[in-house]
Structures are given as structure tokens and as C-alpha cells.
Amino acid sequence: MAAITYRDALNQALREEMQRDESVFLMGEDIGVWGGSFVVTQGLYKEFGERRVRDTPISEDGFVGAGIGAALAGLRPVVEIMTINFSLLATDQIVNSAAKMRYMFGGNAKVPIVIRMPGGGGHQLGAQHSQSLEVWYANIPGLIVVAPAVPADAKGLLKAAIRDDNPVIFIENEGLYTTKGDVPEEEYLTPLGKADVKRVGRDVSIVTHSRMVLLALQAADELAKEGIEAEVVDLRSLRPLDVATISASVHKTNHAVVLEEGWGSYGITAEVAATIYEVAFDYLDAPLVRISGVEVPMPYNLKMEKACIPNLEQVVTGAKKTLGKAA
């Protein structure tokens, strides 16, 4: 195992799948000559050429629609949208075309596309560049939505997404690209639709996804100092949701904190909380705690922005609260 960055893990996944399958190609804004805004596609243009690494105009609705068309024709496009904020310009194609075509055409069509996009805040990029909108896509039948937190999952899930015959929305996070983690050297795939227990614990389950998994692990370290063993459940897949893993964890710990970077109202935490109440109500010893981003457009000022994003203290306090150990 070698420790590599989340960015390099994605890059390896793309390279390996492009080498393996001629029908895999990339499209996106400045992914070719430039190497990608977040440098995920660096080196691929040089290695595979412009036929397979296609720079697009700033035209999200158009090039996402074109990617979906290419997938309908049997290719396996991996489309990068520079950030999730810009994906709103392509929601018609994602929601009305990609997600619908298989069912709406009676199973006679398939759309094997992967649409990658990073979300998240924390870089003083202001209200229009700092959103966590994955719930918009997780709400849509016909899509698969994944959001890996660590390099190993980033690589394994991207390879699995590329090989899957369904449209997959692949959510990255701007704050994760430079984080490092061990990645197996041999070929592997991470199954879509399966959560992963990133830390085993007996006292409280912290259920979350993407960058907040790292915060939850930090919180678990802090809690351990006080003798509280937190279990961290990384959802990895938002649609379909792995209810079995969530349920098993809460059945064991009898306490839950649900955490997300984005807005909680009607959010991922809303869905996960409702799920826990449906499948594990009798196992809960106390009401669960929901922690999510403050519900304002993201402010630019650094202190203001930090105040919007869930932090270590909130998670630690939240875990203690559900355990009846509030300070």
C-alpha cells in the first residue's frame, strides 16, 4: 500500500480505465491542455490525446447533454464539471435526460456516464462557489450518487462508476484533493451502494459522507480521550443508501449523530435521520443529533465562513449530547 493524494487516486482511476477500455473518454472545462482546475486529469491529455481528453467550452448544459448522448450511443464518457455549483446549469440534462431515459424508454436505453464534480466550502470562494448540493441529485431516481471521503474509495468508486451501466454522479470535495491515504497497489473496485465503517466504536454512531468523514474521525479521536468510543459510518454512496450498515451500527451503539457539510433542511442528514428513526427507533436511547452547515449563502469573510461549516467542537459536543454527557 502506498499513501497517495485523493487527487492522484482519481487520476490513477481515470488512467487505468482509459487504458483498459477504449470507449472511456473524458470531457470537461480545461481538463486537457490545462490539466484540470483541480489538476485531477493532469498528464492524461498528453498520454491519450485530444480525442479522449476533450476540452469543452464553458457550456455545462451543452457538454453534459452531449456526454449523455455519447453514452446513449454506447461510449463511456467521464464528464468533469468544474464545481458542483456550475452543475446547476446542466441539471435539466442530468435530471430530465440521464436519469429518465432507461425507465422512460422501457429499458431499451442505457446511459453509462459518470459526471464528476467537487462541492464544498472553506476556501473563501463566496456564495456561488461553496455549495454542497449532492442532495439535489440524491433525490433523483435513475441516478447513482457517490461521495468518497478517502483516496482508496475515490479510486475504487470511480473505477466502479465508470464500469457501471447507469448514470453516476460522482461528488468530490475541494477540501479533499490534497488529503492522503493508503491505496492498494493491485487492481480493485469499491462497490457502489455500500457504506463503510471507517472507525469501529461501541458508544455512538457518527453517520456522514465526503469531507465530513475526516472531521468525524477527528472527533472520534477527541472523544476517545474521554473514554467515548465513536463509530464513524462513511456513507460513500448517497443513492442508493446502504441502510443495512447504518442500521447495524445504530443497533450496536444506540446513539447517533448525523453530520453533513451542506444545509440540513431536506438534506442528507434529514434522509439519514428519518431512516434511522424508521429502522432503529427502538434501539435509540436518546434523540439523535443533527449537525449541518449554517443555512445562509456562504459568506466570504474567513471567520464568517468557518462559522458556517461544521467543526470539531460541534461534533464532539453533539456526540456527548446524545449520550447525555453534555458539558
Partner 1 sequence: MALQTKSADSALQQHSRDELLALHRTMLLNRRFEEKVGEMYTRSKIGGFLHLNIGEEGAFVGAIRALQPGDYVFSTYREHGHAITQGVEPRRVMAELFGRVDGTSKGRGGSMHLFDAQKRFMGGYAIVAGSIALAVGVSLACVYRGTDEIVMSLFGDGATNNGTFHESMNLAKVWNLPVVFVCVNNQYGMGTAVDRASAVSEMYRKAAGYDIPAERVDGMDVIATLDAARKAADFVRQEKTPYFLEALTYRYRGHSMADPQNYRTKEEIEEWRHRDAIESFRKRLRDAALASEQDFAEHEAEVERVVQEAVDFADASREPDPATELLDNAYVGDIPVSWR
For the annotated catalytic residues, the residue numbers are: 60, 129
Number of C-alpha atoms within 13 angstroms, CB side, residue 280? 26
| 8 A C-beta contact, residue 118 and residue 173 | yes
Q: Which of 19, 59, 265, 301 binds partner 1 (CB under 8 A)?
A: 59
Please tell me whether residue 32 binds partner 1 under the rule CB under 8 A: no
The C-alpha cell of 199 is what? 472507525
Identify residues 151-180 at the interface with partner 1 (CB under 8 A): 164-166
Helix H segments across the chain? Answer: 6-20, 44-48, 60-72, 91, 101-104, 134-138, 151-163, 212-225, 243-253, 268-280, 302-308, 312-322
> Largest Cα–Cα distance of the chain, in whole Å?
60
Nearest approach in angstroms of CB 255 to partner 1 is 21
- Compute CA distances 113 → 101, 194, 273, whole Å: 12, 20, 30
Out of 102, 198, 209, 321, the residue judged to bind partner 1 by CB under 8 A: 102
Q: Which amino acid is at 270?
A: A
Q: Does 144 bind partner 1 (CB under 8 A)?
A: yes
Binding map of partner 1 across residues 250-279, x = CB under 8 A, - = no contact:
-------------------------x--x-
- Which of these ranges, 121-129, 152-160, 237-245, 305-313, lies near partner 1 under the rule CB under 8 A? 237-245
| Distance in Å, CB of 135 to partner 1, minimum | 15
Residue nearer to partner 1 on the CB measure, 38 or 63: 63
Q: Is 37 helix (H, G, I), strand (E, B) or coil?
A: coil
List of residues contacting partner 1 (CB under 8 A) = 25, 51, 54, 56-57, 59, 61-75, 92-93, 96-97, 101-110, 141-142, 144, 164-166, 192-193, 240-241, 243, 275, 278
